[in-house]
Structure 1
Amino acid sequence: MTFRRIAIVTVASRGIGRAIALRLAKDGFSVVANYRSNAAKAQEVVDEITALPSKTEYPVRAMAIQADAGNPADGKRLLDETIKAFGRLDIIVLHAGWAGECSIHDLTEDMYLTATTANIKGPIFIAKAS
């Protein structure tokens, strides 16, 4: 099967990442909705994308892939699984999104390290693997 354009959107299960994934799909991209922990929310994005009417002769497809974008091995697996499913990859939207759900006064070192790993280290190593 031939696909028009293929995109990965990291943190696509919610918020801005979800909106980016849906916009790309409306523009004809097949989308890999990456998520770290909420498979149900990622599947909602996939379901919404696959319900969109096709505007071209190319099918718009979607799939969810679990991967921690802050883990280089997971980032490589995300790319590999995308290429295995679609045959290629055209764009990666490295949407950094995890910032925690607390005020600066409640921020712990572990929370800070999780955020910087997901938002800084992850995109660098995903780009390196592509």
Structure 2
Amino acid sequence: MKLSTAKKKAWKAFSEYIRRSHADANGYVSCVTCGTTRQWNDSMDAGHFIPKSRGNAVYFVVENVHPQCKRCNLMEGGNFENYYPYMLEMYGESGIEELRQLSKTQKHYTLNDYLDLYQEYKGKLDDL
């Protein structure tokens, strides 16, 4: 399996876990930045607070990724203006700073790392 294929597979399971773990008993989840509520698989993304473009170190960090509607995540570039207050309430300034520091480091994933992430989040999905 190619590294890129394994990464996509891991992301698919991780993203589904993020959205479903925040959903209510009926499968509805709210965007953390605008409050829009939809089914977890209806135009909802797993959006990064610190953009994934800043490095792999925060790509699969649960505290950095939360449910967002596609509009906020894609068309509004993550809607940072509204994401920050959510993060501040959830993790405090020290939690945000930890993520910022982590994002400045490098994480080099191997094929096995991605496959392990896939298995981990597939298992967590089974437990939901």
What band does the TM-score fall into relative to the shorter chain? under 0.3
Taking structure 2 as the reference length, what is the TM-score of the superposition?
Answer: 0.25
Taking structure 1 as the reference length, what is the TM-score of the superposition?
Answer: 0.25
Q: Which structure ranks higher in relative contact order (CA pairs < 8 Å, sequence separation ≥ 6)?
A: 2
Q: Which structure: greater helix fraction?
A: 2
